[in-house]
A and B are shown apart, each in its own frame.
Chain A
Amino acid sequence: MAFKKPSPLPGFGLSLGYTVFYLSLIVLIPLGALFLRVVTHMGWVEFWKLATTHRALMSYRLTFGASLVAALVNSVFGTLLAWVLTRYQFPGRRLLDALVDFPFALPTAVAGLTLADLFSKNGWLGRFLVPAGIHVAYASLGIIVALTFIGIPFIVRTLQPVLENLEREVEEAAATLGAGRLRTFCSVIVPTLFPALLTGFALSFARAIGEYGSVVFIAGNKPNESEITPLLIFLRLEEYDYTGAMAIAVVMLLFSFTLLIGINLLERWASRFQN
C-alpha cells in the first residue's frame, strides 16, 4: 500500500503511529472485543436467532427508518437554514446562528422531556394536533421529531463554511451564460454543496441511529411499535440477557458501519471535482 503524498512537515511517522494507536484504543479495540464475544459466547446460529427476533427486527426498522427520515428532513431544512444564515443580513441573525448549536448543548433527556411535553395532549402544540388526529408524543412520529431536533446542527454547521466560500462570480458567470436563478441554484450551487451535504447527512443520520436519551421520553416505547434498538439493548441488559443484548448490538454495529462506508464512497464520488 502506498501512502498518499506524505506532508513535507516532519513527524509523519510519529503522528501516523499516534493516530493508529489512539483510534485502536478508543474505537477498534472495543468494537473488536464485541465481535469476539459473539464468536466465543454464542455460535452464529444462536446469534442469528437472537438478532432476528420479531421484536428486534421491528426495532431495527424503526430506528433506521426514523433516522433516515430525520436526516432527509434535516438535509432540506438544514440547507435552507444554512443558506439564510450565510446569504442574508437580518436582525437577529447572530442569535439564530447561535441557536443552531442548541441541540448540541442541551442534555438529550431535557430535549426529550421538552418535546414530549410540547406535543402531549395538553401541550402547546399537542392541544391543536391531537384533536386533529396527529399523534406526535408517544408515537413513532415523535421519534422522528426528536431525531430531527438533535440532528439539525450537523447539516447547518457542515454546509455553512462551504456556502460562505461560494464565489459570487461563479453565479454571475452562470447568469451571463443565460441561466436563471433556479437553474443556477440547481446546476451550479447544489453540486458544489453536495459533498458537504452528504457529510452532514451522514453525521446527522449516525447521530440519530445512536440517539437514546431524547427518544425514550417521547416514544412511548411500546414493543414492536415505538421501541428503538438502543432501548431494546438496554432492556435486554436489564434482564441480564447479555448475549441477547450483544447480538442486537453487533447488528447495529454492522449496519452503521456499512452505511457510513457507503456514504463515504458516495462522498468521494461527489467530490471528484476536488483534489
Chain B
Amino acid sequence: MSIELRQVSKQFGDVRAVEDVSFTVQEGELVALLGPSGGGKTTVLRMIAGLETPTGGDLFIRGQRVNDVSVQQRNIGFVFQGYALFKTMTVHENIAFGLKIKKWKRADIAARVQELLKLFGLDGLGSRYPHQLSGGQRQRVAIARALAPKPSVLLLDEPFGAVDAKIRQELREWLVRLHHDLNVTTIFVTHDQEEALEVSNRIVIFSRGRLEQIGTPREVYEKPSNEFVARFIGVLNVLELKVQDGQSRLGELSFPAHGVPEGNTLRIGFRPYAVQISANLGEYRYRGTLKHIFFLGVLLRLELETPSGLTLRARIIKEEFNRLGISEGDEISFQIREYRVLSREGDALTQETSVAQLVSLAEGI
C-alpha cells in the first residue's frame, strides 16, 4: 500500500476540519478527493504532505508511519492551488530547485529539466519568468517542479480550478495521460464531481470533515452510500411522499409503501435518466408538461411539470429527443424506470448513514 490514513483528525482551535478519516490509496492510483468547499479536502492533502500535523490518528506512506517525518523528508510532490511558483526564478530554475537541494549533479539536473520541459510542452520557455507565462503554462511548471525530484506521491490541490472551461477539459485529459505515462501515485482535490468522475480511478468523497464514501467513479455514481453522495454525484430528483392505503403518494405520483406505516412519509430519489418520456400520451402512467429544454451537447436536460405542480428533471440523449419530436410546452407521458428509497420517517437515517441501512428495491438508482 502506498498511502494510508487511520482515523486521522485535524482540529484548528474549535474548528474540526477533518474528523476520523480512514482510507487507503494504492501504489500508482489516481484518486480524487471530492467534496463541497470547506469540507476538509485541502487539510487532508496538507496532512499527507506534512504541511499540517494531524491532531489525531496515524498516517502511513509505503507502510512507514510518517506523522513525525518532516515535510522535507517525505519526498512528496505538492502542487498548490495558486501554483506558488518562485517568481524570482526562471522556469528552468523553478524546476531545478528540488534537484539542487537533493544535490543532483549539474549535468543530471540540466537533463532532467530538459526532459520535463519537453514532457510538459514547455520547450523554449525555460528562461522565462513565471509572470511571462499563461495560467495553463504556470500550472504545468508547478507540476513539473513537483515531479522533478521523482516524488513517491503527487498531490494536487484543485488543479483545474483556476483555468477556463476549454483548457480545463484539455488539462483533465492531459493529467490522465500523464498519470498513465509516469504511473506515480496521485491524489488531487476537486469540488467538481464531473471532474472527479472523469479523471480518477477512485473517488474519496468528503463533507464537513467526514468521509462519506470511497469507491470507483461507477460505484459512487451507481451505488451512492447515502443521500449526500447521491445528491453530490450527479443530479437527483428527491420526493417526499405520504403513505396512504398501502401506497406512498405525492400529487399523482405513487410508489409502493415499502413497509412504512400509514400516515408516515417516505423519501424517494431517482436520477434524471431514469425518467422515460413519450410523446404518446397513452404510453406511460403519468402526464406532464415539458417546461424547459436545455441543450448540453449530446445530452439534453428536460424539466417536466406534473398537473399537480411537481417539477422533475429528466435527461435524454439527442437521438432519442429527435425521435420523440417534442418541444417546449408539449404534453407528454412519462414513467420512472428506477428509483431508490432514501429514508423512512422514524428511521434515524441522516445524510451520514451508511448504505447498508438503506432500503433499495430497485437495482441501483
Q: Residues of A at under 8 Å CB distance from B?
A: 167, 169-170, 172-180, 183, 187-188, 191-192, 194, 272-275
The answer to whether B149 and A273 have CB atoms under 8 Å apart is no
Interface residues of B in 85-112 (CB under 8 A from A): 85-89, 97-98, 101-102
Knowing A169-B80, A169-B84, A188-B86, say if A176 contacts B131 (CB, 8 Å): no
Q: If A179-B72, A272-B129, A273-B129 touch, does A172 touch B102 (CB 8 Å cutoff)?
A: no
Residues of B within 8 A of A177 (CB): 97-98, 101, 145-146, 149
- Residues in A whose Cβ lies below 8 Å from that of B73: 178
Interchain CB contact under 8 A, B84 and A273: no
Q: Whose C-beta in chain B lies nearest to the C-beta of A192?
A: B88
B51, A273: Cβ atoms closer than 8 Å = no
> Are B84's CB and A173's CB within 8 A?
yes
Known pairs A173-B85, A178-B72, A272-B129 / 10 extra A-B pairs, C-beta < 8 Å: A172-B51, A176-B49, A176-B50, A176-B51, A177-B98, A177-B149, A179-B97, A273-B88, A273-B130, A274-B131
Say whether B101 contacts A178, CB under 8 Å.
Answer: yes
CB < 8 Å neighbour of A172 from B80, B88, B89, B98? B80
Instruction: Give the complex CA separation of A175 and B97 in angstroms.
Output: 11
CB-CB nearest in chain A for B97: A177
The answer to the question of B38 belonging to the interface, with a C-beta cut-off of 8 Å to chain A, is: no
- A residues less than 8 Å from B49 (CB atoms): 176
- Count, A-B residue pairs, CB within 8 A: 72
* A176 touching B146 in the complex, CB below 8 Å, given contacts A167-B84, A169-B82, A275-B131: yes
Q: CB distance B82 to A273 under 8 Å? A: no
* Chain A residues within 8 Å of B86, by CB: 170, 173-174, 188
> Is B82 a contact of A176 with CB atoms below 8 Å?
no
Closest Cβ of chain B to A5, distance in Å, is 15
Interface residues of B (CB under 8 A from A): 49-51, 71-78, 80, 82, 84-89, 97-98, 101-102, 129-132, 145-146, 149
- Which residues of the other chain, B, contact A273 by a CB distance below 8 angstroms? 87-89, 129-131
Q: List 20 A-B contacts (CB under 8 A).
A: A169-B82, A170-B84, A170-B87, A172-B84, A173-B80, A175-B51, A175-B71, A176-B71, A176-B72, A176-B76, A176-B78, A177-B98, A177-B101, A179-B72, A187-B97, A191-B88, A194-B88, A273-B89, A274-B87, A275-B132
Shortest C-beta distance, A61 to chain B (Å), equals 36
Q: Which residues of B contact A176 (CB under 8 A)?
A: 49-51, 71-72, 74, 76-78, 146
Residues of chain A within 8 A (CB-CB) of B78 are 172-173, 176
Q: In the assembled complex, how far is the CB of residue B2 from the closest CB belonging to chain A, in whole angstroms?
A: 17
Q: Are B102 and A178 in contact (CB under 8 A)?
A: yes
Least Cβ–Cβ distance between A181 and chain B, in angstroms: 10
**What residues on A are CB-neighbors of B75 within 8 Å?**
178
**Is the beta-carbon distance between B131 and A192 smaller than 8 angstroms?**
no
Please measure, in the bound complex, the distance between the C-alpha atom of A15 and the C-alpha atom of B80, giving whole angstroms: 42
- For B101, the chain A residues whose CB sits under 8 A away are 177-179, 183
Q: Which residues of A contact B102 (CB under 8 A)?
A: 178
For the complex, what is the distance from the CA of A194 to the CA of B149, rounded to whole Å?
28
Residue in chain B with minimal CB distance to A190: B88
Top 10 closest A-B pairs, CB basis? A177-B98, A191-B88, A169-B84, A173-B84, A176-B78, A178-B101, A273-B129, A175-B71, A169-B80, A170-B84
Q: Which residues of A contact B84 (CB under 8 A)?
A: 167, 169-170, 172-173
Residues of B within 8 Å of A180, CB to CB, are 72
Identify the interface centre among A174, A180, A194: most chain B CB within 10 Å of its CB.
Answer: A174
